[in-house]
Structure 1
Amino acid sequence: MRILVLTTAPRQPDNHLLWEGLREFADVEIHYFSKQEQKSLGAVLSRFDFSLYDRVICDLLFRYLVRQRRVLSRISGLLIYEEDACQEFIEGSKWEGAFSTFYLKLPNARIVLTGFQVCRKFQEMGVDAHFLPKGFDSSKLYNMGLERDIPLGFVGRLDSDTYKQRREFLQRAEKEFGLQILRAEPGDEYRKLLNRIKVFVSADIGLGEYMAKNFEAMACGCVLLAFKQGCGEEEALGLESGIHWLLYEGQEQFELFVEMLMTDTGLSDALACAGQMEAKQRFDYSAQSQSLFSLLVLPSDPALKRMSLWQRLLGLKFQIGGQHGN
């Protein structure tokens, strides 16, 4: 099988190992495009004769990809990899409702999404959607065995209004529990900072999936204390609370778990060790390549092929109407 991968660089998280790993299973040609190049994505796509490839993977910025429906609809064997489709369902997001509108106009495309619940919602709309969780680059993120002198930490930006629930929760934890909200440049600086954190606090509230930071922190040996998504998300990841991580469902439980982890060294050490091992086995991009390849060779769903575009859009219209009426 001959595969063409069109992806973004620089990109955070850097997932080049996901594409490089496909070379174990197929003849793979990878092209990296900057954000500036993608502003002229039509010209970029015109460089390729897509008929020369059995599969074409697009891991490009949605804000530019969404403008190329006409070109993309003519690509046989198209697979779109998207990590931000949860914004489809976040009220007030710039992209609320935009992903489904776009995907339903590409009935021949297979869509790989990084949230189990998010994927299931798109499937219910008639999209040929498949779940592959977010991953991490094991060549850059690993346990260095450093002293963990930051008891409670979070690394990342909080300025996006799309993720305001996360910001509010973390700022409260900063005020009440001394959570350190930190920033770091990608690469060595980010890895070293994660290696100094004992308990990494994740607050992916209202997102319906777990962000890559969760698995990056686990890979670096942090204890992960995360907000529970529920609805099968954890089972789909293969992670159990109390074994690989601790999941809280509200403020009271969060406070209880913080106290436990700060006082019970045996518990925190066991969670960190089990979490690190599981992250390496399940979410390392190199390990995920085989799962991705299985999605590339998976036959199309005949039921979706029989469903016409207007039927899909009609179903989506009724679904959205029902949601607004609740």
Structure 2
Amino acid sequence: MSARDEILALTQRMGESIIGQKRMIERLLLGLLADGHLLVEGLPGLAKTRAIKSLARNLDAKLSRIQFTPDLLPADITGSEIYYSEGGKGEFRFQQGPLFANLVLADEINRSPAKVQAALLEAMEERQVTVGGTSHPLPPLFLVMATQNPIEQEGTYPLPEAQMDRFLMHLNVGYPEAGAEAKIVRLARSEEASAGKHSGSASEPRLAQDSIFSARTEVHAMQVSEAVEQYIVALVQATREPAAIDADLGQWIQVGVSPRGSIGLDKVARAFGWLQGRDYVMPEDVQSVVHEVFRHRLILSYEAHAARVTADSVIDRLVQKVAVA
């Protein structure tokens, strides 16, 4: 079985337990293939936690769930040095925190103060944790899925725009359709009826981490033509000089996309094209993922907020105005 077939099989298995959120499953796997982190925003109960748990259940990977709270300290997630005494001698040893996992669910990241957020984001960027002057590398397979609740903003600490830039993608999760809702109810009823019956039984086959690394190698080898490359650059440049292509965009965009945005768009477009079964990237691949890559990197103006213009509508206008090379 090829690496792509294994990833598609993983997608199908996850879809059996996560109904009505096909896009979230796909974007989660895109983040895994592109070796980036995800910021997922949605109302409670929309299977955000269930999604990454399902990924961990079907992948040979360790999962850590961190519930971010106002009293959380950086050492609570990174780990700390503990003093051990044995045989009359004492020494400090590093005790790993929950960040030392393959998949990390940072639940409600905006409920913790800046120091904790900074500790997480530094680990995401550097892929290591430094405690007591010693650096400790994180696992080669390392993905953070941070969640935010769009409601109940009292007592929260919003992520600064410069720190949100470290996330590869920002995914908005909406309600499932009516047909999917009925399937969700039936699935919950089935799981309730079978609870405890399979405890102790052999677990289902899990995808090896080497399969993910093999898939990444193929994604890295994807062909990106000069025309597609220029299209990515044109989209990014349009966010920095929006008035040059559209008067409304010039009023709506205050700060454009950083170079991380162009790098991220290239990586995610390659992963998306690879999932479609191609060895090259098309402009349609770029357009399919540009919303998730740009959504959290655009800073809109006061005029845009006053007119209730969203980042998604701004990106829609960008795609409409920027011509494919």
Same fold (TM over 0.5): no
TM-score normalised to structure 1 length: 0.30
- 1 or 2 for the larger relative contact order (CA 8 Å, sep ≥6)? 2
